[in-house]
Chain A
Amino acid sequence: MKPVYLKPESLKDVVTSYCPGCGHGLVHRLIAEVIDELKVREKTIGIAPVGCAVYAYDYFNFDVAEAPHGRPPAVATAIKRCLPDRIVFTYQGDGDLASIGTNEIIHAANRGENITVIFINNANYGMTGGQMAPTTLPGMRTTTTQKGRDSKLHGFPLRVSELLATLEGTVYIERVSLIDPANVIKTKKAIKKAFSNQLTGTGFSFVEVLSPCPVNWGLKPLEALKFVKDQMIPYFKLGILKDKTEEMKKEKGA
């Protein structure tokens, strides 16, 4: 028997703490596959966030540093500047990146640090029990918005990718999802491009993944995929928001 698909080497052989149907596991696996394909496992350093993915260092089979709430871009900046030959990426949720660490991510992006940021958008604070996050959709029920998010009271969901796309320092920004096999393949492609950009020294790459959070949404795993498709995607439009990769490569070559 010839293997068609084997577990990636960059992923440890452990049972994760994620809920059934959580998008984190899928994104972990895709990152591990990409790192294996690029053959950079030995020189990769990941930065784990505070949130559900806080145990990422137990699941990834390469070096992972832990950063305080929202500060992975700052830690990644330091590591990348001290060890420029390493592949440094941060893995952050929406509570971590869009709320607590908004300042950090905006300035890291504006400086155009040569790092990769993977942003998991599940529209709530997953680990702490599903409270409202900046990305929570209008009318969406969470434990802190029992009658649904009211835009007059709580403001509007933050589109981080669009926000960062306006900055000069960013090179590649794409929003992807995990709703079906085709979109999972697209997500992998986007993650691969974000990592390749760092290998070629092109600059700041950012991938936002719309991820299901079945338990906190009060839905079954398959219903959660449907929720992403029907409710989240109309607000958070998928696609490449900015791609200066080729320009930057030319600039570097010239």
Chain B
Amino acid sequence: MSKEIKVKIDKEKCKSCGFCVLYCAKGILFTGKKNNAKGFFYIEFDDKLNKCNSCAICALMCPEAAIEVFKEDKK
């Protein structure tokens, strides 16, 4: 299990367009129930099963550059 978060979403920048949710192949991004200062229900990342392979398609599709993606170091 990874201890650190692989996909960091800047919740204040997120405008809930859902492009990342649509194109995430693993289906681990979803629109949350909390809203940010602008009133958008920001996207949340939940990877309990460690499905994320850091493909960064979510970051590629993000119009707000709100997503940063990290990968585990090889041991």
A residues contacting B by CB (< 8 A) are 1-8, 11, 15-16, 18-26, 28-29, 32, 180-181, 184-185, 214, 221-222, 225
Contact = CB atoms under 8 A, between A and B. Distances in A.
Given A15-B38, A20-B15, A184 B60 contact: yes
Contacts of B54: 4
A2 B22 contact: no
Contact of B68 (A7, A32, A181, A214): A7
Contacts of B60: 5, 181, 184-185
B67 interface: yes
B71 A181 contact: no
Given A21-B19, A28-B65, A29-B63, 9 more contacts: A4-B54, A5-B59, A5-B60, A5-B68, A24-B63, A26-B61, A29-B65, A184-B61, A221-B19
B56 A5 contact: yes
Contacts of A184: 60-61
B66 to A, nearest CB: 8
B6 A1 contact: yes
A180 B60 CA distance: 10
A23 B63 contact: yes
Interface string B8-45: 00001101111100110000000000000010100000
Contact of B18 (A5, A26, A222): A222
A245 B13 CA distance: 38
B63 A22 contact: yes
Find the residue from A3, A22, A181, A214 having the highest chain B CB count within 10 A: A181
Contact of A15 (B12, B22, B57, B59): B12
B: contact size bracket: 20 to 34
Contacts of A180: 23
A253 B16 CA distance: 50
A8 B65 contact: yes
A221 B17 contact: yes
B56 A21 contact: no
A21 to B, nearest CB: 4
A15 B57 CA distance: 21
A32 B62 CA distance: 14
A6 B63 contact: no
B17 A20 contact: yes
A197 B70 CA distance: 32
Given A1-B4, A20-B17, A7 B63 contact: no
A25 B22 contact: no
Contact of A1 (B22, B40, B57, B70): B70
A4 B19 contact: no
A18 B63 contact: yes
Contacts of A21: 15, 17-19, 63
A177 to B, nearest CB: 13
A16 B70 contact: no
